[in-house]
């Protein structure tokens, strides 16, 4: 029998390599590869019986019997060929009709943008994974949401594995988090977490973070691939077996991906990504995975001295400092998921100094698409940009990646080059093709409604969209088929 060859596995992301590597090409981590046996890596990971027993004992000591019991047959047990007993005698077996309508009402978190992304609130019994860059505000979001739920009467247990109790207390004081049913556990051992959960019986368990909590039954160090996977499986078994709803904080790699094995994202119910620029107070909350709602919803929050606040009207925030009648400024109706948002696209065109190589700098927008739009303007619209520096920026810090921003870039560049401002009451949206045609965009009706709500009176839209829209009394839709037609709005 051929001998199985050991492999090297990245302890951060789970990447497999036939030999040791100093740097993981998948996540960029240094010195993270460890020797593993294929048989060990392929072995199924099961919830820890000892931890579950500790949780049950703690519940019994607190005056309540265990609510459930894990039944896990050995891997070698043969699957039964027939059911000899009735459905009522098989634990966990029920008809699908019995499950319909059995879901408990969601819990509103008191943070409207978080509820929007979750689909209306937290689903009881679910497991949520929250990832984001260090310092982005993950712990702040957990503290605020936990405090609001505790004020509503839910028991909340916060497991702090990264900070001391005084540090968390200082942040809680700044945020005004003083709910009586909010408890703090400053421990890293998963055994302590299960015991505390069994005694307190909280409705919500917050774990900060997944990489710092460890299962003492494993010899692997905290944060290793094996520990992260086992801790996630144990906590999932706790939540699905009658325990509390759980929110986990996960670290990210240098490339922005969630650290740890991919299986964690598969087993949890919701995966949230918390994003934002360090130099900006705005934060974006996205649902990468959501079993109970849409993944197209985006929450916009603002970090302040008293924590995170929901941005109810993001268009007003992004356009609050827009200069009127300034060449190179265009209002774009973009979308974040299903949510329409108005942002300002700015362009500055200047002569290249000393006849040098022209510069093309793009911030907040796809550089490849912006370069394509500049090429179309030169070839199809006759704009002379060969000897000019072109700078394009999306004001406010909201990144725009969709093709519908092409028309705004084209108008902003032409406006700056000609020195003619775009009308202040005009909004645009449209994709520009290589032949100069203006292509249709998705969610056109929502974009028009947002522009009208913000007080704009005219909107440039692709002719394909304009034909399918109903007439509005509060906003006039101007259809365009070619980029040359759009540039007529900034004719010299």
- Percent of the chain at pLDDT > 70 equals 90
Higher pLDDT, 491 or 332: 332
How far is C-alpha 414 from the geometric centre of its chain's CA atoms? 35
Position 38 confidence tier, pLDDT thresholds 50, 70, 90: low
What was the pLDDT predicted at 90?
A: 60
pLDDT given at position 391: 98
Give the pLDDT confidence score for residue 75 in this predicted structure.
40
pLDDT at 76 over 80: no
Measured distance CA(23)–CA(12) in Å, rounded: 11
Burial class, 62, CB count within 10 angstroms (exposed 0-12 / middle 13-18 / buried 19+)? exposed
For the chain, the residue count is 492
Give yes or no for residue 78 having a pLDDT over 50.
no
Using a cut of 0.85, tell me whether the model's pTM lies above it.
Answer: no
Reply yes or no on whether the pLDDT at 334 is more than 50: yes
Q: Are 224 and 103 in contact (CB under 8 A)?
A: no
CA–centroid distance for 450 within its chain: 23
Residue 33 and residue 227: Cα distance in Å, rounded? 15
Higher pLDDT, 487 or 1: 487
pLDDT of residue 137: 94
Q: How far is CA 424 from the centre of its chain?
A: 33
Region at 459 (left for phi over 0; alpha for psi -120 to 50; beta for the rest): beta
Is the pLDDT at 321 greater than 50? The verdict is: yes
Model confidence at 53, in pLDDT bands (50, 70, 90)?
A: confident
- DSSP, residue by residue, 396-439: TS--B-SGGGHHHHHHHHHHHHHT-PPPTTEEE--EE-TTSBEE
Residue 87: pLDDT over 80: no
Mean pLDDT across 232-248: 94
3-state secondary structure labels for all residues of 309-331 = EECCCHHHHHHCCCCCCCCCEEE
Over the chain, what is the mean pLDDT?
A: 87
Residue 2 confidence (pLDDT) above 90: no
394: β partners: 345
pLDDT cut 90: percent of the chain above it = 65
- Tell whether the model's pLDDT for residue 44 goes beyond 60: no
CA distance 305 to 323: 28
- Position 127 confidence tier, pLDDT thresholds 50, 70, 90: very high
Which residues are paired to 351 by β-bridges? 388
Average pLDDT over residues 50-62: 75
**Domain annotation for the chain: domains and CATH numbers:** 7-42 (no CATH), 49-63+105-310 (3.40.50.300), 316-490 (3.30.230.10)
Is 52 buried (19+), middle (13-18) or exposed (0-12) by CB count in 10 A?
Answer: buried
Q: Are 391 and 413 in contact (CB under 8 A)?
A: no
Helix, strand or coil, per DSSP, at residue 46: coil
**Which residue has better confidence, 99 or 144?**
144
| 448 has pLDDT over 80 | yes
pLDDT given for residue 59 in this prediction: 74
Mean pLDDT lowest for which of 7-21, 224-238, 268-282?
7-21
Identify the residue whose tokens are 């199924």: 44
CA distance 401 to 403: 7
The predicted pLDDT at position 99 comes to: 76
Per DSSP (E only), the strands in 133-177 are 156-160
Residue 92 pLDDT > 90, yes or no?
A: no
Torsional class of 119: left (φ above 0), alpha (ψ -120 to 50), beta (otherwise): left
Compute the Cα dihedral for 251, 146, 181, 197 and give only its sign. Answer: negative
Structure tokens at 409: 């870039």
> Comparing 66-70, 119-123, 141-145, 156-160, which segment has the lowest mean pLDDT?
66-70
What's the pLDDT at 482? 97
Tracing tokens 């993270």 back to the chain, one arrives at 32
Q: How far apart are CA 328 and CA 418, in angstroms?
A: 9
Residue 136 has pLDDT above 70, yes or no: yes
């Amino acid at each position: 029998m051929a001998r199985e060859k050991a492999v090297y596995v990245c302890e951060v992301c789970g990447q497999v390599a036939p030999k040791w590597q100093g740097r993981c090409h998948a996540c960029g981590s240094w010195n993270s590869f460890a020797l593993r046996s294929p048989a060990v890596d392929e072995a199924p990971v099961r919830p820890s019986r000892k931890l579950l027993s500790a949780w049950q004992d703690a519940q019994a000591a607190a005056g309540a019997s265990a609510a459930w019991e894990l039944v896990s047959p050995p891997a070698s047990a043969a699957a039964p060929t027939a059911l000899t007993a009735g459905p009522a005698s098989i634990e966990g077996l029920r008809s699908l009709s019995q499950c319909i309508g059995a879901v408990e009402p969601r819990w509103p978190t008191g943070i409207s943008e978080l509820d929007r992304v979750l689909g209306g609130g937290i689903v009881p019994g679910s497991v949520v994974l929250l990832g984001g860059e260090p310092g982005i505000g993950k712990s702040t979001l957990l503290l605020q949401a936990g405090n609001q739920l505790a004020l509503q009467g839910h028991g909340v247990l916060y497991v702090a594995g990264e900070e001391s109790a005084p540090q968390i207390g200082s942040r809680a004081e700044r945020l005004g988090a003083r709910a009586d049913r909010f408890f703090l556990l400053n421990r890293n051992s998963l055994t302590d977490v299960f015991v505390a959960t069994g005694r307190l019986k909280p409705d919500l368990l917050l774990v900060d973070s997944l990489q710092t909590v460890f299962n003492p039954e494993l010899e692997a160090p905290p944060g290793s691939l094996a520990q992260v996977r086992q801790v996630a499986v144990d906590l999932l078994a706790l939540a699905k077996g009658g325990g509390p709803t759980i929110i986990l904080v996960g670290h990210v790699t240098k490339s922005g991906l969630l650290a740890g094995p991919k299986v964690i994202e598969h087993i949890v119910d919701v995966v949230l990504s918390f994003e934002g620029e360090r130099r900006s107070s705005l934060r974006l909350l996205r649902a990468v995975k959501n079993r109970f709602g849409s993944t197209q919803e985006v929450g916009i929050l603002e970090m302040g001295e008293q924590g995170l606040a929901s941005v109810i009207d993001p268009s007003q925030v992004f356009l609050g400092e827009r200069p009127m009648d300034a060449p190179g400024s265009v209002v774009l109706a973009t979308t974040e998921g299903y949510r329409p948002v108005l942002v300002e696209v700015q362009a500055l065109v200047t002569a290249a100094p000393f006849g040098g190589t022209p510069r093309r700098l793009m911030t907040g927008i796809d550089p490849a698409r912006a370069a394509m739009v500049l090429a179309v303007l030169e070839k199809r619209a006759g704009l002379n940009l060969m000897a000019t520096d072109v700078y394009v920026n999306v004001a406010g810090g909201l990144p725009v990646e969709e093709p519908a921003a092409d028309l705004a870039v084209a108008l902003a560049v032409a406006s700056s080059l000609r020195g003619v401002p775009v009308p202040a009451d005009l909004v645009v949206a449209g994709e520009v093709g290589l032949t100069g045609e203006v292509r249709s965009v998705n969610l056109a009706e929502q974009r028009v409604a947002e522009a009208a709500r913000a007080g704009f009176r005219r909107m440039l839209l692709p002719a394909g969209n304009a034909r399918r829209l109903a007439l509005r009394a509060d906003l006039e839709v101007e259809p365009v088929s070619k980029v040359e037609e759009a540039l007529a709005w900034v004719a010299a």
